[in-house]
Amino acid sequence: MNRPTPYIVYNKIGTKAPTSSARTGYVAATLDLTITLSESRKLSGAKNGDGGSLGAINEFDGATMAIDIDKLKTIAPPEAMPFTIQRLGHVVLQVSDLERSLVFYTRVLGFKVTELYSEDLQPGGFAFLRCSTDHHSIALVGSATRRSQHAELHHVAFEVGSLDEVFAARERLREQGATITFEGRRRAGCQIAVEFLDPDGHCLEIYWGLDQIGTSGYVRPASEWKAMRTLEAAVANPVVGQNIEK
As a whole-number percent, the residues of the chain with pLDDT over 70 amount to: 73
What is the mean predicted confidence (pLDDT) over 121-147? 94
Residue 194: CB atoms within 10 A of its CB come to 25
- Quick check: pTM over 0.85? no
What is the mean predicted confidence (pLDDT) over 193-205? 96
First to last CA, the chain: 9
Strand order in the sheet with 180-185: 156-159, 203-208, 192-197, 180-185
- Please check whether residue 142 is in contact with residue 125, taking contact to mean a CB–CB distance below 8 angstroms: yes
Rounded to whole angstroms, the Cα distance separating 68 from 66 reads 7
What pLDDT score was predicted for residue 45? 41
Long-range contacts of 131-134 (CB under 8 A, 24+ apart): 131/158, 134/89, 134/90
What is the mean predicted confidence (pLDDT) over 96-107? 97
- Please check whether residue 227 is in contact with residue 187, taking contact to mean a CB–CB distance below 8 angstroms: yes
Helices (H), 125-208: 163-175
Rounded to whole angstroms, the Cα distance separating 96 from 129 reads 17
- Please check whether residue 217 is in contact with residue 169, taking contact to mean a CB–CB distance below 8 angstroms: no
Amino acid at the residue 104:
F
Summarize pLDDT for 18-73 with one digit per residue, the tens.
333 332 222 222 223 232 333 333 333 444 344 444 444 344 455 566 899 999 99
Rounded to whole angstroms, the Cα distance separating 67 from 69 reads 6
Q: Hey, which residues does 139 pair with through a beta bridge?
A: 92, 128
Q: How far is CA 91 from CA 26, 72, 136, 168, 169, in A?
A: 25, 26, 9, 24, 20
What pLDDT score was predicted for residue 64? 63
CA 68 to chain centre: 24
What pLDDT score was predicted for residue 78? 87
